[in-house]
Amino acid sequence: MSLCRVCHASVREFFDFGQHPLSSAFTVPGRTTDEFRYRLAIGVCVSCSMVQLLEDIPPEHEVHEGYPYHSSNSTVMRAHFEETARGFLSTELTGPDPFMVEIGCNDGVTLRTVGDAGVRHLAFEPSGAGGVRVHRAFFDGASARAVRAAEGPADVIYAANTLCDIRDIGQVFEGADALLTPDGVLVFEDPYLGEIIDRTSFDQIYDEHVYFFTARAVRAMAEHFGFELADVEHLPVHGGQIRYTLARAGRRTPTASVDELLAGERARGLTDPATLDGFAAAVRGIREDLPALLRKLGAEGHSIVGYGATAKSSTVTNYCGIGPELVPFVCDTTPSKHGRLMPGSGIPVRPPEAFSSPYPDYALLFAWNHAEEIMAKEQAFREAGGRWILYVPDVRIV
């Protein structure tokens, strides 16, 4: 039995996806046989209720370049990060000479906006990427102490789509404790277990998402490390996220939203065995329905392509057994993915131009988290008679 990565109690497994490649392991054609695989499985802590990945990736297979950041090429996300920065500028960053830190940096949009307003800022990003002021290290106790000594305390430590990936989460709290002012906040946003269950978005589960947060588990985690959950906010991005604001214990009065979200989670039994087993059954249903639909459309002579070579789609293709015989290629805006094969499934990735020359009959929307933006952009596909295939929250054609 595995032990909880946060509180070390035992973890009850509730879903095993089988052997999977790393979601970032886009391969070069002709070299697919030696791919590393690990058991993708999740469980729930019987004590703190944190839902988490069960297996660790052996260090020699881990990608250590920086925080896994997938540039989503999304104007919606850019606007979201600009708004985030403006929010901090008008709340947490109003004192004399404020200082904001980001763990990772998400294309640098948030910190660039903060910097443009004349506020001191720094990203912890070992790869040095992002085009903003960077401290080339992972965020942990030692690196945070070094920055504290050189630059003084921070008012805000922010992380988007990053904390859920950090296996040794205790180091984040050690760093936050070292670097934050007494009233400073650690703010992070990640996929929310409640949304994952509501939408059966099981493709959020892959090697780079270690934790699937809930208000209850985040509150317990905060308390475990001397912090307190002070606020929560629903975000519409990436299929539904929560932004958690943590302060040192006793420094802020938790808002009503915290109690509301906790009460809602309790009322629906969010991490009860019955709920998690129901999720597992719904996921198995998609594994039946999605390949069956693709096979049927293919047999009827329809062309199908994939849209968006997301990290998430690695779980879908490998768990559902979808390869190039069902989806001959996926188009994606990311140049570094072009000419490569999707992890495990071996589906080739092509540039966006491949989508329209000619338009397929059906497009399987792997980047469903950007559905609105993509469907608006691809009006001509619909006008040409094209249809979208969605599998979140269930398998359907729209």
The site for ligand TYD (CB under 6 A) is made up of 70, 72-74, 308-312, 332-334, 367, 369-370, 373-374, 377
Least distance (Å) between residue 393 CB and ligand TYD: 17
Q: How far apart are CA 114 and CA 188, in angstroms?
A: 17
Q: What does the block give as tokens for 315?
A: 């779980």
**Among residues 22, 25, 44, 45, which is the contact residue for Zn ion, using CB under 5 A?**
45
Q: How far apart are CA 368 and CA 398, in angstroms?
A: 12
Least distance (Å) between residue 77 CB and ligand TYD: 7
In sequence order, which residues have a C-beta less than 8 Å from that of residue 75 and are 6 or more positions away?
373
User: Which of Zn ion, ligand TYD, none binds 45 (CB below 5-8 Å, type-dependent)?
Assistant: Zn ion
Nearer to ligand TYD, 173 or 307 (CB): 307
Q: Are 7 and 224 in contact (CB under 8 A)?
A: yes
How many C-beta neighbours within 10 Å does residue 95 have? 10
Whether omega for the bond prior to residue 358 falls within 30 degrees of 0, making it cis, is yes
Q: What is the DSSP string of 131-175?
A: SS-EE-S--SHHHHHHHHHHH--EEEEEEES-GGG-S-HHHHHHH
Least distance (Å) between residue 18 CB and ligand TYD: 19
**Among residues 22, 40, 48, 205, which is the contact residue for Zn ion, using CB under 5 A?**
48
User: Which of Zn ion, ligand TYD, none binds 4 (CB below 5-8 Å, type-dependent)?
Assistant: Zn ion
Does 6 interact with Zn ion (rule: CB under 5 A)? yes
Nearer to Zn ion, 6 or 159 (CB): 6
Least distance (Å) between residue 55 CB and ligand TYD: 20
Least distance (Å) between residue 314 CB and ligand TYD: 8
Nearer to Zn ion, 54 or 290 (CB): 54
User: Which of Zn ion, ligand TYD, none binds 171 (CB below 5-8 Å, type-dependent)?
Assistant: none
Pairing of strands 38-45, 51-53: antiparallel
Q: How far apart are CA 280 and CA 287, in angstroms?
A: 11
CA atoms within 13 A on the CB side of 312: 21
Q: Which residues bind Zn ion (CB under 5 A)?
A: 4, 6-7, 9, 45, 47-48, 50
